[in-house]
Amino acid sequence: MMRTSTETDRQDTGMRAATLVLGVGNILLRDEGVGVRVVEAMQAVEIPKGVELYDGATAGFDLLDVLADRRKVIIVDAVDGNAEPGTVFRLTPEDLMPRDGQCASLHDMGVLETLELVKRLGIAPEEVVIIGIKPKELSWGLELSPEIARVVPEVIELLLAEL
């Protein structure tokens, strides 16, 4: 887990940050890890008080407690869509729910299912926004493709506007 000064402040006061920016993805598969890479890059940016940055990696149900009882959760992830690589989408969980048994997320069991579970448990965030980025390269490697790396600053600006 990535620690931030905002998170440390939250732990010191015993209060949970109202807003969570959750980066998810597998950093071993290049652009599939874009959500995690965006959250890492946000470490260098001043974020508003009451916001927690969290590296969710490929966790699924392990995120139950992380997502529970937040005012707002913004998830950053690679999203498959009918668009050019590097296209940035602003979505809701409902936009990604399966219509034909297939999720648009690149994770088999993950954030969407976890969001559905926190909802059923009555501890869902009040608002969930998904910032999805269409990946280009999903081969083995740690670096984002140049096309996806170029949109990271744009995604950070979108996140700051959401906050």
Total of domains in the chain: 1
What Rg do the C-alpha atoms of the chain give, in angstroms?
15
Q: Please give the pLDDT value at position 6.
A: 47
- Which residues constitute the domain of residue 150? 5-162
CATH number, domain at 30? 3.40.50.1450
Contact 78, 88 (CB under 8 A): no
For 125-150, how does the pLDDT look when each residue is reduced to its tens digit (9 = 90+)? 999 999 999 999 999 999 999 999 99
For 110-130, how does the pLDDT look when each residue is reduced to its tens digit (9 = 90+)? 788 889 889 999 999 999 999
Residue 131's φ and ψ, nearest 5 degrees, are -100, 110
For 95-108, how does the pLDDT look when each residue is reduced to its tens digit (9 = 90+)? 887 665 454 444 44
Contact 67, 114 (CB under 8 A): yes
Pairwise CA distance, residues 27 & 34, whole Å: 7
- The CB-based long-range contact list for 3-7 (8 Å cut-off, 24+ gap) reads 4/43, 4/47, 4/52, 4/53, 6/47, 6/49, 6/50, 6/51, 6/52, 6/53, 7/52, 7/53, 7/54
